[in-house]
Structure 1
Amino acid sequence: MQLASIRILTTDLPRLVQFYEQATGLPATHYTPDFAELPTPAATLAIGSLRTAELFGGAHMAAAANRSVIIEFYVADVDAAYERIAGLPGPDVVQVPTTMPWGNRSLLFRDPDGNLVNFFMPVTPAAQQRFSRQQTA
């Protein structure tokens, strides 16, 4: 089994897609006015309008209501990513780049919808080894 994507539902698709394009430097592919994707080598970040939730029987789904998931991106340089994020309108930085006890250097912020996002890179030998195992599994 392989994780294919994480999908964010939003009330403002153009704003959120533009934010993620600027934050990640990745171009989005717009399939419809209600759905776009930012593919990465490991998985895809999908962004859909609330109208797409209707296709899943979505009366119970709500945008910007998440408080338990962190969307994580492996980046080459967390500190450079912080400089890029700091210049964007909308993100609320929760934690400046910090080396975590498990060996990752992390930048935690909220996107314009309030979703938690972590840009991280493994910096200790143990974390680097752990991550390299994940890439080959």
Structure 2
Amino acid sequence: MNFVSTRIITTDVKTLVSFYEHVTGMSAIQYTPDFAELKTPSATLAIGSTKTLQFFGGDEVAKAAQNRTAIIEFVVKDVDAVYEKLVNFLQSHIIQKPTTMPWGNKSLLFRDPDGNLINLFTPVSPEAIKRFEGKV
């Protein structure tokens, strides 16, 4: 088994795609107006409209903008530099400025337009650097 993707269900694919393109600096692949993907070397962030729920059993399978349990995480080379670059864009979305966590990552925590938590982090302790070797 290989973990390859996380999908966000939204009522506004265009807004979320634009937001994630701005934050990551990557271009999304927009397969249809209702489905797009941001592909990284290790995993994909998929963005699907609520219309796609019909293929998975109906409207009640998932609810847009209701996440209160998951954090979508991206490892970056320098979270402080990313913060400086994005601070104006993210200003109303920031939950926590770059802060070093007890497990050795320096993390920037914010919400996307649907309220999903996003963590951009850089490993800073020797243990964390080793854990993420080759992934940054």
TM range (shorter): over 0.9
DSSP-derived class of the 2:97 partner: strand
Q: Superposition RMSD on alpha carbons, in Å?
A: 1.5
- Equivalent residue for 1:111? 112
**Is the aligned partner of 1:27 residue 2:31?**
no
- Equivalent residue for 1:73? 74
Q: Which structure is higher in helix share?
A: 1
Find the aligned partners of 1:98 and 1:89 in 2 and give their Cα distance: 16
The 1:90–1:105 alpha-carbon spacing in structure 2 relative to 1, beyond 3 Å, is: closer
DSSP-derived class of the 1:88 partner: helix
Shift of 1:76: 1.0
- Equivalent residue for 1:50? 50
Poorly superposed stretches of 4+, deviation over 3 Å: none
| Unpaired runs of at least 5, structure 1 | none
| Unpaired runs of at least 5, structure 2 | none
Whichever residue aligns with residue 22 of structure 2, its letter is Q
Aligned residues with identical type, % of pairs: 59
The 1:33–1:73 alpha-carbon spacing in structure 2 relative to 1, beyond 3 Å, is: same
Shift of 1:75: 0.7
Find the aligned partners of 1:70 and 1:76 in 2 and give their Cα distance: 19
Question: Do the aligned partners of 2:10 and 2:49 also contact (CA within 8 Å) in 1?
Answer: yes
